[in-house]
Structure 1
Amino acid sequence: MINQVRVSLKEIVGGGYKTYWNYKGRYRVVKGGRGSKKSTTTALNIVNRMMEYPLANTLVVRKVFKDHKDSTYAQLKWAIKRLKVEHLWEAKLSPLEITYKPTGQKILFRGLDDPMSVTSITVDVGFLCWAWFEEAYQIMNEDDFDKVDMSIRGELPSGYFKQITLTFNPWNEKHWLKRRFFDVQQKNILAMTTNYLCNEFLGADDRELFEWMKKHNPRRYKIEGLGEWGIAEGAIFTNWREFAFDKSEIIKRPGVKSAFGLDFGFTVDPTAFPASVVDPKNREIFIFDEIYEKGLLNNEIADAIKNKGYQKEIIIADAAEPKSIVELRKYGIRKIKAAEKGPDSVKAGIQFLQQFSIYIHPSCTNASMEFSNYVWERNKEGQMINKPADEYNHLIDALRYSMEPIRKRMRVR
């Protein structure tokens, strides 16, 4: 006998998602701002559905597999606990999966950085019915999505249905997701937009952050607050693309240099740390790793750098925080230096980066996001001016800092 637990889904899920919760068409797509409940609601829905459909299994997909542990895996475990059914589920880290103990149904986790693991999925019990793409905006290649879409196939028992769910923040209107799901009207697509205003569980301090953003950064508020598409016009960098390069091959080239930069952040902005290999002769930059996180204290920044193994590298950091630089040295980041900011250093740094072909490894999702959204500022009349907008530029600023030694050497030559 399974112990019965009564909970109120209305109280747990809240408002704003009734249509989404009950939809059974092929594609269920929700773009939303931060704090819009889209991911937590999806996690609750998956757990509830799997207990309702004893032959259904779920595949959860992210662009990079390692990102599951602290996002979708944690959210689904939270949902299980929130629904008070943790005694019925078993979560494992190796292999990463969650099992419904009464039936053996599974929630499986995969990353697009290992294509074979995605396309060769089999389940022990029942059928693979559903897939959830979290942070779907990070998937730049529509073909990668199609491969998983095609793997959800085959006849199902009466009453069952196949469905692909996609949740994401809508950074750029040129993304294939807009054309594929939002610019069309098809009976098998539910495409909706949500935002923090429907989230009754947010605290007063969370709402204050959105109000601050609304007043001080309206473009960012439109995307991250209201969940509207970001405007792609006026992109500063068009000389970049994602490329799954092999760093070990790049560093064999003669004359290549490493470049590490650091831009400090905390509450509103993230601390950003890009790691790159630079080929000055061929004018190529290869961004292969990143740290991108809010709320990090200086000792935590040092720990993050050490965990990546970069504590012995020369790191060029934002000169506006000399105290933080001194503290990081005390925490073992001995070779950190302040950037040499001068007149028009931002424009000069941008112009220098524009002379390179920039390749971003697919695992560096935040770098791709910033390069997609870094645009020129507009005046009150809506005309672009020769000044970059002060947003989506934290990794890019840190990349500028990291390139200072290379720019000096090239200028001398």
Structure 2
Amino acid sequence: MVKIKYKPLKPFEELLKPYRYKVYYGGRGSAKSYNFALTLLILASIKPLRILCAREFQNSISDSVHRLLSDLIDKYQLPNFEVTQREIRNKLTGSEFIFKGLRHNIQSIKSMEGVDICWVEEAQTVSEESWQILIPTIRKPGSEIWISFNPQFVDDPTYQRFVVNPPSNAFVKKVTYKDNPYFPDVLKEEMEYDKRVDYERYMHIWEGECITYSEAQVFKDRFKLGILDTTNSDEVYYGADWGFAVDPTTLLRVWISDKYLYIDQEAYKVGCTLDDTPNLFEKVEGCRNHIIRADSSRPETINFLNSRGFVIKPAPKWPGSIEDGIEFMKSFEKIIINPNCKHTAEEFRLYSYKTNSAGDILPQLEDKNNHCIDAIRYALSPLIRKRNSAKSIKIGLI
């Protein structure tokens, strides 16, 4: 046994107490993942534990909390940990961290034995089927299930199961950025932008409030979170939207695979300076090897980035190009968004048509929650225009 003095931040002190379920939910920047990861590392340094780190979607180890755990081991110089590409072990206590995605590994997880703690990260996306199989799997006496998530909709399985109707022996706590004394400046800029520009978005993203379903939502029932194999697809497109002074600058990578539109990578930063934009774009793989189509309203920005080795072309605009772009995106059987593209997913949930004071939906799009969506439209603009030209020719023949 190893003795280590450790005390989590005040909202997370309950992590050290014996509950079957430890549930922390709320807004971005509340340090849920950070405190979960550090606490688990400390516990794994004290006694032998088998810790399963699970999430609904995990296409590779990079989609897991493996990187966060290994970064914290380095930051605090935690001794005796051995980090490999697939596992993390403590050579002194024998503790091990295992990383699994639930959606495609649920049957193999069902046969796992001896799990002491299961941490389910990004739990808002976990299906009811996954919960029904996972929970009985964590059956070792004294075992615990730790759950961290940012809520989406009230009727999501995770929110219903652990917030609306929490099980017995569960500690459930809502936390926000206000509970984090180390709330980083980069997130503070995003938070203040949302609070100023779109209070509904602010309440959802930063205060952890659920979204209310509305018929005014543009992409209602048209998208889902998931991971799509694009190995055999060469239809990849890149689109950028400029942030000007205070809006977010974005770069999105978009795939077309059969009947699906798939968004798998994003770069997003509020208040990004021109000089910082190349570094921001580098976060998206392949961006220097493909044409990036971008908002044509900033030719000086396009020229600057082209001088830095990117190939950026202004996306064409025409009367109704926004509406045409949205209809083109909705023409796919499903829009699939990688869960790592958090800002994109948020926009798809929130992007709406305007409504009047009586609540009637108007045929006009709200000009907010659309920076990632605009980047996607720009990326696909040649296809959108080609499609519309084909429609015009067909109508002319008739």
The alignment's TM-score, normalised by the length of structure 1, stands at 0.77
From the superposition, tell whether residues 122 and 355 of structure 1 become closer, same or farther in structure 2 (CA, over 3 Å). closer
8 Å contact 1:111–1:118 — kept in the other structure?
no
From the superposition, tell whether residues 348 and 107 of structure 1 become closer, same or farther in structure 2 (CA, over 3 Å). same
Report deviation, 1:77.
4.2
Indicate whether 1:152 and 2:142 are aligned: no
2:293 aligned counterpart, secondary structure:
strand
2:239, 2:296 → 1: CA distance? 11
Aligned-residue Cα RMSD (Å) equals: 3.6
Partner of 1:17: 12
Indicate whether 1:56 and 2:49 are aligned: yes
Partner of 1:42: 36
2:318, 2:278 → 1: CA distance? 29
2:337, 2:325 → 1: CA distance? 22
2:190, 2:334 → 1: CA distance? 33
2:81 aligned counterpart, secondary structure:
strand
- Runs of 5+ unmatched residues, structure 2: 391-398
Report deviation, 1:166.
1.6
8 Å contact 2:73–2:81 — kept in the other structure?
no
Partner of 1:92: 83
1:63, 1:358 → 2: CA distance? 19
Indicate whether 1:135 and 2:118 are aligned: no
Partner of 2:195: 214
From the superposition, tell whether residues 200 and 290 of structure 1 become closer, same or farther in structure 2 (CA, over 3 Å). closer
| Percent of matched pairs sharing the same residue | 25
1:116, 1:205 → 2: CA distance? 36
Superposition pairs of residues 394-409 of structure 1, within 5 angstroms: 394-409=371-386
Please identify, of 316-325 and 27-36, the stretch whose mean Cα deviation from structure 2 is larger. Answer: 316-325
1:291 aligned counterpart, secondary structure:
strand
- Runs of 5+ unmatched residues, structure 1: 252-256
Picking from 269, 283, 286, the partner of 2:261 is: 286
8 Å contact 1:181–1:191 — kept in the other structure?
yes
8 Å contact 1:319–1:338 — kept in the other structure?
yes
Aligned pairs, number: 382
Report deviation, 1:105.
1.0
From the superposition, tell whether residues 162 and 379 of structure 1 become closer, same or farther in structure 2 (CA, over 3 Å). farther
1:261, 1:404 → 2: CA distance? 9
From the superposition, tell whether residues 378 and 214 of structure 1 become closer, same or farther in structure 2 (CA, over 3 Å). farther
From the superposition, tell whether residues 324 and 112 of structure 1 become closer, same or farther in structure 2 (CA, over 3 Å). farther
Superposition pairs of residues 311-326 of structure 1, within 5 angstroms: 311-326=288-303
1:310, 1:207 → 2: CA distance? 27
The alignment's TM-score, normalised by the length of structure 2, stands at 0.80
Partner of 1:261: 239
2:62, 2:371 → 1: CA distance? 25
Report deviation, 1:218.
0.7
2:4, 2:161 → 1: CA distance? 40
Report deviation, 1:109.
2.2
Please identify, of 58-67 and 162-171, the stretch whose mean Cα deviation from structure 2 is larger. Answer: 58-67
Give the aligned residue type for 1:239: R
Indicate whether 1:239 and 2:234 are aligned: no
Partner of 1:338: 314
1:16 aligned counterpart, secondary structure:
helix
8 Å contact 1:262–1:318 — kept in the other structure?
yes
Report deviation, 1:122.
5.6
From the superposition, tell whether residues 24 and 346 of structure 1 become closer, same or farther in structure 2 (CA, over 3 Å). farther
2:332, 2:210 → 1: CA distance? 29
From the superposition, tell whether residues 247 and 27 of structure 1 become closer, same or farther in structure 2 (CA, over 3 Å). same
From the superposition, tell whether residues 245 and 369 of structure 1 become closer, same or farther in structure 2 (CA, over 3 Å). same
1:411, 1:259 → 2: CA distance? 19
Partner of 2:395: none
Indicate whether 1:102 and 2:102 are aligned: no
Give the aligned residue type for 2:255: S
1:202 aligned counterpart, secondary structure:
coil
Picking from 62, 65, 69, the partner of 1:76 is: 69
